[in-house]
Each structure stands twice: as C-alpha cells, then as structure tokens.
C-alpha cells in the first residue's frame, strides 16, 4: 500500500483550495501547547499568585525534504525541480493574497493529524547542487500556529474572562475591591481601576454609576 503523503491545503474563503503534497513525509513532528498567565505584581504583595490570562495558539513544527535528484519518483503533477517545489509550497502557505491582505489559512492532514493554522516561519537549507549551481536537494523547517476563525473563537470564548474589558453598573453595597475580586479574581487591582475611571474617592461608590474595568495585561 502506498504511503499517504502529508498534505497542506489552503482553506481561506475565496481561495482555490490548492494543495501541496509532500514528496517525502516528515520523520517526525512536534505539537506544542502553551497557556499564558498574568503574574503582575502589586504594591505590598507578599506572594506571586498565578492567574489565567489566555490559551495561546497551539503550534506544530516539522522538517521536510525537497528532492530533485530523481532518487524519489515524483508524483503526478508534482514539480521536478527543487526551486519549483518550494515555489509550489509557498503558493499555498506563504504568498500574500492581495484580495484578502494576508497569507492563506491552511489545513494540514497526515494520518491522525488534522491541524488548521497559518505559517509562522519557514527556513530552507540547500544541501546538494548541480554543477550549474541549481539546487537538487534542500531541507526546510516549518512552524505553523493554530488559527481559529473569529466566529468559532466567539463561540468558545468565556466572556467573563479577566483579559476582556468589562462595564459594571454599581449597586448598593458594592465596593471597588469587591468588584475587582468579582471581575479579576483579585481585589488588589482596585487602585488601577480607580485611576482608570478617574475616581478620587473610591471607598464610597455611587449606586447607578458605571465603572469600566480594563483587561489585565
């Protein structure tokens, strides 16, 4: 049974859905996940609490080989020359789309891997040449950041997250530290919120007033 090649397909609206299939599959790939936490310090702080801020885009990285020596038989429709293979890949993952003002969002499929994202970086190392200097073998290292459409992100977002702006209507009994605890999960942000809202007297809040709570940085 023939091996299934890793494929990279443009999936932006209006794109032609062009696909690049690898001639030689990666020997390995890495999938990285990370979370961003807010560790802002405040005056008089005796500890350093770690507060969730956001989930960073996941990231996949892998190396690929471009071969123009003929050692690996090219697939139907696949360019023979290394320079043409790289150009075909760039057309899918790198080239700027003047209509949409950005490179393509792509889908990477291989075995159990299904990843939607955008190219973060690509470095190409040319390793073998003809006597004319034309490359006949090269290796590229590629990294892609996960990318979710805005409407998909809104469905998944927690709108009470402290990394978003909030507008709060003051009711009887509210205090600024209490509201900061409710919005940020930490009452010690009240001096910054007072300054942001231009409050000179923040120990007594006027019911019916509307206060704005900026996102944590």
Give the per-residue pLDDT at 15: 53
Q: What torsion do the CA atoms of 71, 77, 81, 84 make, to the nearest 10 degrees?
A: -140
Domains 7-155 and 159-213 share a fold: no
The answer to whether 214 and 195 are in contact (CB under 8 A) is no
**Region for 111 from its dihedrals, namely left if φ exceeds 0, alpha if ψ lies in -120 to 50, beta otherwise:** left
State phi, psi for 208 to the nearest 5 degrees. Answer: 95, -15
Burial of 173 per CB tally in 10 Å (0-12, 13-18, 19+): exposed
- pLDDT over threshold 80, residue 14: no
CATH number of 159-213: 3.10.350.10
- Average pLDDT of span 114-131: 95
Domain locations in the chain as residue ranges: 7-155, 159-213
Task: Work out the average pLDDT over 159-184.
Answer: 77
Distance CA 201, CA 1 (A): 76
Token pair, residue 177, equals: 């530290």
The hierarchical CATH code for the domain 7-155 is 2.40.30.200
φ, ψ of residue 95 in degrees (nearest 5): -60, 145
Q: Give the pair of three-digit tokens for residue 13.
A: 């609206």
Give residue 68's pLDDT band: very low, low, confident or very high (50, 70, 90): very high
């Amino acid at each position: 049974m023939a091996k299934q090649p890793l494929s990279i397909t443009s999936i932006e609206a209006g794109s032609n859905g062009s696909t690049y299939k690898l001639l030689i599959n990666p020997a390995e790939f890495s999938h990285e996940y990370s979370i961003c936490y807010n560790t802002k310090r405040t005056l008089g702080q005796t500890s350093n609490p770690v507060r969730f801020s956001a989930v960073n885009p996941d990231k996949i990285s892998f190396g690929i080989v471009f071969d123009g020596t003929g050692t690996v038989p090219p697939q139907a429709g696949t360019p023979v020359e290394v320079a043409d293979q790289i150009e075909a890949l760039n057309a899918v993952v790198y080239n700027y789309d003047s209509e949409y003002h950005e490179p393509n969002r792509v889908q990477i499929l291989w075995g159990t891997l299904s990843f939607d994202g955008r190219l973060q970086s690509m470095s190409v190392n040319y390793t073998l040449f003809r006597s004319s200097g034309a490359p006949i073998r090269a290796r590229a290292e590629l990294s892609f950041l996960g990318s979710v459409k805005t409407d998909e992100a809104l469905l998944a977002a927690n709108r009470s997250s402290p990394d978003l702006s909030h507008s709060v209507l003051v009711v009887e009994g509210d205090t600024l530290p209490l509201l900061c605890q409710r919005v940020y999960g930490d009452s010690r942000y009240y001096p910054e919120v007072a300054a942001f809202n231009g409050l000179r007297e923040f120990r007594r809040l006027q019911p019916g007033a509307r206060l704005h709570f900026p996102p944590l940085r």
